[in-house]
A = this chain, B = another copy of it.
Amino acid sequence: MDAPMINHRGPEFKALLKELEDGLRWAFQTSHDVLVFPASGTGGLESVVANLVSPGERILAVSIGAFGDRFADCAAAFGAHVVRHAVPWGEAADPDDVDQILADEPEIRTVLITHNETSTGVTNPLRELARVVKGRGRLLAIDGVSSIGSIDLPVDAWDVDVAVTASQKGWMSPPGVTMLSVGPAAWERRATAQAPRFYFDWERAHKMQQNGATFTTPALSVLFGLREALRMMREETLPAIFRRHLQIAASFRAAVEALDLRLVAAPAAVSPTVTAVYFPEELQGDLAKAVFATWRERYGLIVAGGQGQLTGRIFRLGHMGAVSPDDVLAAVDALQRGLADHGYGVQPGIAVDAAQRALAEPETALAS
């Protein structure tokens, strides 16, 4: 990534962009156009809104947490009349509910859904949700920021019109680039959508990419990282990557269970990339801050806190991208020690043992 900069209007960049486009199509499992923008994942979501929505139009936002709310807020900021289907945090969306809303609301032409919600550690049943949305003939745009490249999302097979991700998630690169796929129905909608767009205009981006360049200056160092990440991912293969994520998530959950802690996610909806866990009652609130500090300062373990309504109540473990079984064991050990330092007593070593057992029994783990 610290290779010297190259001319982003020259032949070296053209070759880089071609390799990235091919790699992303492979990872998205799509023949759709793929676009890259210098932006975080939220920028990719804004591009969906700016290119597909018209002010005053009714759209459906299925939200199962903070990032679902963000997608909906963005659409509202661009003038859409957003019908919010907000599911209690910790649960996944029910395809039957979405089907009913779409049946009741024939005017809704576009549906926004989060595939994997990092604020709650929940993964939506996207295959079923997509079947419902497409069955009703609506356009489907997916926030796949924390799923694509880590959790199976075959864009073409599931008929997903737009799918968005970002470089810092499963792609093992620093943040700064958002990548998305745009299918034919989305291109068609774009032609009539009225929201203003310039920086995130898909058409400008697409025209430039067809000529081997980008509309604005690309985030080169991040793209260098992404190129290498895609090569590594091709070596590992997608089925192996998805399986590794499932296995590692299962081992984290085994550790959480051994620690007698409760997941935020309902059992059927647990995420393969993020595990969100309630603190023990007695450590919630202000005390949680001290536990985060202990994890960070004494054990070098960076754990994310809760967002929105879950602030001070939960901790979240991200495990997407470059994560190995050894990382799990080290993290789980530090996790238990930090909790113990604050008086949460469970038999020493029990979390690591449970994680290790889960890692050793992949079949059981994947079924759990």
In this complex, what residue of B is CB-closest to A222? B176
Q: Is A368 an interface residue (CB 8 A)?
A: no
Q: Write the A303-317 contact mask toward B (1 if CB under 8 angstroms, else 0).
A: 011000000000000
Chain B residues near A269: list those with CB within 8 A.
none
Residues of chain B lying within 8 A (CB to CB) of residue A305? 9
Q: Which residue of B lies closest to A1 (CB)?
A: B2
Closest beta carbon of chain B to A39's beta carbon, Å: 6
A240 to chain B, nearest CB (A): 24
Stretch at the interface among A56-64, A74-82, A332-340, A341-349: A74-82
Determine the main DSSP class of A at the interface with B.
loop
- With a CB–CB cut-off of 8 A, which chain B residues contact A220? 174-176
A220 to B5, CA, bound (A): 17
Interface string of A234-275 (1 = CB under 8 A from B): 000000000000000000000000000000000000000000
Once A39-B39, A40-B38 are accepted as A-B contacts, the answer to whether A77 and B196 lie under 8 Å apart by CB is: yes
Q: Contact check, A40 vs B216: say whether CB atoms are below 8 A apart.
A: yes
Q: How many copies does the complex hold?
A: 2
Contact status B38-A302, CB under 8 Å: no
Alpha-carbon gap, A176 to B177, bound state (A): 8
Residue of B nearest to A53 (CB): B196
Q: When chains A and B are docked, how far (Å) is the Cα of A357 from the Cα of B74?
A: 57
Q: Pick the most buried of A2, A78, A219: most chain B CB atoms within 10 A of its CB.
A: A219
Q: Complex Cα distance A42/B61, Å?
A: 29
Residues of B within 8 A of A2 (CB): 1-2
- Of the candidates B39, B200, B201, B217, which one forms a contact with A38 in the assembled complex, judged by CB atoms under 8 Å apart? B39
In whole Å, how far is A164's beta carbon from the nearest beta carbon of chain B?
12
CA distance A304 to B166 in the complex (A): 30
A98 proximity list for chain B (CB < 8 A): none
A199 contacts B39, C-beta separation under 8 Å: yes
Contact of A100 with B by CB under 8 A: no
Interface residues of A in 162-214 (CB under 8 A from B): 166, 168, 174-177, 195-201
Q: Mark A132-172, 1 if CB is under 8 A from B, else 0.
A: 00000000000000000000000000000000001010000
List the interface of chain A (C-beta within 8 A of B).
1-2, 5-11, 38-43, 46, 49, 73-74, 77-79, 166, 168, 174-177, 195-201, 215-222, 225, 296, 302, 304-305
Beyond A38-B175, A42-B199, A43-B216, 19 additional contacts (C-beta under 8 Å) are A1-B2, A5-B174, A5-B175, A9-B304, A38-B40, A39-B39, A39-B43, A40-B217, A42-B215, A43-B199, A73-B198, A74-B199, A168-B217, A174-B220, A174-B222, A175-B220, A176-B220, A219-B219, A221-B221
